[in-house]
Amino acid sequence: MHDREFSDAELVAFLDGEAEFAPVAEITAALARDPALQQRLDALAIDRAALRRSFAMVEPEPGVMPDLAIAPVGARAPIWHLATAASLALMIGVGAGAWMAQPEPPGWAEYVAAYQALYSEATLAHVAPDDMTQQVELARVAAAIGKDIALAQLQTVPEAHYKRAQVLSFDGRPLVQLAFTTPAGTPIALCIIRSDSPDAPAPQMTRMEGLSAARWLRDGYDYLLIGGTDSDMVSRMANRFVSMNL
Amino acid sequence: MKLWPHADPRAEISAGLPAVFPRIWRYALTLTGARDRADDLAQTVCLRAMEKAEQFEPGSKLDRWLFRITHNIWVNELRKEAVRRGGGLVAVEEAEIADPRQNPEQDQIGRELRQSVLRLPETQRQTVMLVYIEGYSYRDAAEILDIPIGTVMSRLATARATLGVRFRDQEVPKHAR
């Protein structure tokens, strides 16, 4: 009897032990008669165990996985709490259109507002660094936009308590986020990005994503202060930052 | 119908993710071809998994679900961008993904084996990673990649013919399985 020609796919399924997709009995019987078939099998052979070992050596750096422990279990929307600066940068930078499901990417302030809208009291509750940590962090973050910001300036604002600084990214440009909380726990953020627009140093009050916001432009930087719903307080804070020439 | 209607999918995902994360990251690395982009993709997978937690059926295979999310994010969102930048569909170079903490000379055979997989065309590379590195069955791989089982089989057959030649060239000891 002449053996039928097995396809490479059938032979590979046979080698892979996928009996459901390989004519196992026919191939086994043919192997006993046909040395050329054994040669075809040999040509398709690979060392799966060695391959697996070689990839097992490749591992992520420690700390790459986002901290799921601070995710509020049971809540749906505020998954952004998990976002590290890196993944946020990715979402804003690379995946912007798809992630936000908007055809035209809006300006940076709209992104910041959408991000800030997901902050809750719990977001910054656990952040309590010492002065030294804050000093180092602030210097590093401020350098990303080529700006000097003194910790003391941020700590003298009576309306809210300074918490932390992060570098985010919008459209490949670094964006600094300085996070504060009010005594009631409301998160407020001052975001700064480099800008070529002409100065408009008087804070313009607006409402974005249901949050009170103030925006001004000065000396090549675009500022957005946003958070909570107390527009008077946001306005006072904004004017304070303007007057200290932050 | 859910097997455990009262189980909390978010809790199950949070509990299971750390063990699966290195595998997801490794797969992301072979898709994106660079460690930093693998970080980004794997982190996005975690966020997306928590966001879509209600769609996960507690008690079902978490790893398979996460691989499927990884594949979808890559194909639907990031790949276009990668292709635009000139990456993504081209072969991945081992040098780009090398672990900076490891001495390259200590892992010569491993590097050559990885390189042989990384140089495969993207669709073959994905399928080889899922079946031969991650150990998924043809059926699982077809589900993760959302392709027919016949396509899994033909991709593996083509990849094996290429890999077989490279393995022999490099005199790596080989066994049928």
Contact between A211 and A117 (Cβ < 8 Å): yes
Nearest Cα to Cα of residue B52 among B36, B32, B70, B79: B70
The pLDDT of residue B106 is 64
Could B160 and A8 be called an inter-chain contact, meaning their C-beta atoms sit closer than 8 Å? Answer: yes
Q: Is A22 on the interface with B (CB under 8 A)?
A: no
The pLDDT of residue A59 is 86
Contact between B142 and B154 (Cβ < 8 Å): no
Nearest Cα to Cα of residue A82 among A90, A132, A190: A90
Could B47 and A68 be called an inter-chain contact, meaning their C-beta atoms sit closer than 8 Å? Answer: no
**Residue B26 corresponds to which tokens in the numbers above?**
């490794």
d(C-alpha A157, C-alpha B112), whole Å: 59
> Which residues are CB-contacts of A106 (< 8 A; sequence separation ≥ 6)?
none
Domains of chain B, CATH where assigned: 1-90 (1.10.1740.10), 91-177 (1.10.10.10)
Contact between B4 and B58 (Cβ < 8 Å): yes
Task: State the pLDDT confidence band at A225, using cuts at 50, 70 and 90.
Answer: very high
Check the CA dihedral A87-A92-A94-A99 and report its sign.
positive
Task: Give span(s): CATH 3.40.1000, chain A.
Answer: 79-243
The pLDDT of residue B85 is 58
Q: Which of residues 95-154 of B touch A (CB under 8 A)?
A: 97, 99, 102, 107, 109-111, 113-114, 117, 129, 131-133, 135, 137-138, 149-150, 153-154
Q: B115-147 b/e with 16+ CB inside 10 Å = b?
A: bbbbbbebebbbbbbbbbbbebbbebbbbbbee
Residue A174, Ramachandran bin (φ over 0: left; ψ between -120 and 50: alpha; else beta):
beta
**Residue A106 corresponds to which tokens in the numbers above?**
């809006």
Residue A194: pLDDT above 50? yes
**Residue B42 corresponds to which tokens in the numbers above?**
């794997």
- Chains A and B: how many Cβ contacts under 8 Å? 173
The pLDDT of residue B174 is 44
**Residue A47 corresponds to which tokens in the numbers above?**
């060392």
Q: What's the start-to-end Cα distance of chain A, in Å?
A: 90
- Dump pLDDT digits (tens) for A1-27: 455 789 999 999 999 999 999 999 999
For A190, list phi and psi in degrees, rounded to 5: -105, 115
The pLDDT of residue A191 is 92
- Dump pLDDT digits (tens) for A61-108: 888 888 765 444 443 333 333 444 444 444 443 433 333 332 333 577
Architecture of domain A79-243: 3-Layer(aba) Sandwich (3.40)
Q: Which residue of A has its CA nearest to B173?
A: A47
Q: Which residues in chain B touch residue A101, judged by CB atoms under 8 angstroms apart?
A: none
Contact between B29 and B22 (Cβ < 8 Å): no
Instruction: Find the DSSP H helices in chain A.
Output: 8-15, 24-33, 35-43, 48-56, 85-93, 96-100, 108-116, 121-125, 131-143, 151-155, 231-243
d(C-alpha A234, C-alpha A189), whole Å: 10
Q: Is A57 on the interface with B (CB under 8 A)?
A: yes
- Sheet containing A211-218: give its strands across: A161-170, A173-181, A187-194, A221-226, A211-218, A200-208
The pLDDT of residue B63 is 95
Q: Which of residues 65-84 of B touch A (CB under 8 A)?
A: 76-78, 81
Q: Which of residues 65-124 of A touch B (CB under 8 A)?
A: 65-66, 68-69, 71, 73-74, 76, 79-80, 82-84, 86-87, 89-91, 94-95, 98-99
Could A79 and B131 be called an inter-chain contact, meaning their C-beta atoms sit closer than 8 Å? Answer: no
Query: Which range among A44-48, A66-70, A116-120, B64-68 shows the weakest confidence by mean pLDDT?
Result: A66-70
d(C-alpha A191, C-alpha A207), whole Å: 15
| Low-confidence residues of chain B: pLDDT under 70 | 1-7, 79-106, 166-177
Q: Degrees (nearest 5) of the Cα angle A80, A82, A87?
A: 80
The pLDDT of residue B169 is 56
Residue A202: pLDDT above 80? yes
DSSP conformation class of A17: T
Q: Is B25 on the interface with A (CB under 8 A)?
A: yes
